[in-house]
With several copies, the nearest count.
Chain A
Amino acid sequence: MSVTVLYFAWVKEKVGVGLESLSPPESVRTVSDLVDWLKLQSPSHAEAFSDLSQIRVAVDQVHGPFDAAIDDAKEIAFFPPVTGG
């Protein structure tokens, strides 16, 4: 599986990059699985995802829950609660 992972605002600052093209293993089926796998990639990833209550997710540019299936999603984004307007 190949997927583009995007980070915004302080999640991006903590991870250190805004975009990664990743190929997580087959066992990664949901957004939660992906987060668990991402936290193993580096201490910055682990730090960025240390408090999931402060993270929101979009799967292919649609807001979703952490238990959303990834299926053949092309783009998964993580970010803080939004503050526009």
Chain B
Amino acid sequence: MIRVQKKPFDPGAETNLFLDRNSNSGGVASFIGQVRDFQDDTDQKISVLELEHYPGMTEKELGRICSAARARWPLDDASVIHRYGPMKPGDAIVMVFTASAHRADAFAACEFIMDWLKTQAPFWKRERAGTDTSWVDAKTSDDDRASRWTSDD
């Protein structure tokens, strides 16, 4: 399941919904990304994060990433929920779930989806700190993490 939405989601409720759909899977891995409260470079307190995205492509790209994960590992299920629009520090931006008979596959697929989402899903963050608003720069460390999966095997 892929869901891209403006309104907040409840990570606990989503967890139980995913488990209900996958009660026969031995292992469920998940990752939750939260809005950070301080900027990397200026160390200033962030008041608002605004997330722009590319409607249409976002859902397709997340679907392609989940399909790639399911082609690579024996998964029972994989889900991504991603917000866009304005958010405040501590809000959940993204939640990824994977279900598999084996925990190693669930972990690997969950991290793979996050790594590819970070470098491929068309979202752009803009942070407001004090009176300044600035676009967040992409991290080369994210590219490095994503490229691990292509060089692995």
Contacts and interface: CB of A to CB of B under 8 A. Distances in A.
Is there a direct interface between A and B, measured as CB atoms under 8 Å apart in the complex?
Answer: yes
Interface of A: 6, 8-10, 58, 61-63, 77, 79-85
Given A58-B122, A61-B60, A83 B136 contact: yes
A83 B60 contact: no
Contacts of B61: 61, 63
Contact of B117 (A8, A61, A85): A85
Interface residues of B, number: 27
Contact of A77 (B52, B57, B120, B123): B57
Contact of B121 (A9, A10, A82): A82
Contacts of B82: 84-85
A10 B135 contact: yes
Contacts of A61: 54, 56-57, 60-61
A62 B117 CA distance: 14
Interface in B121-153: 121-126, 135-138
A72 B33 CA distance: 38
Contacts of A77: 54, 57, 122
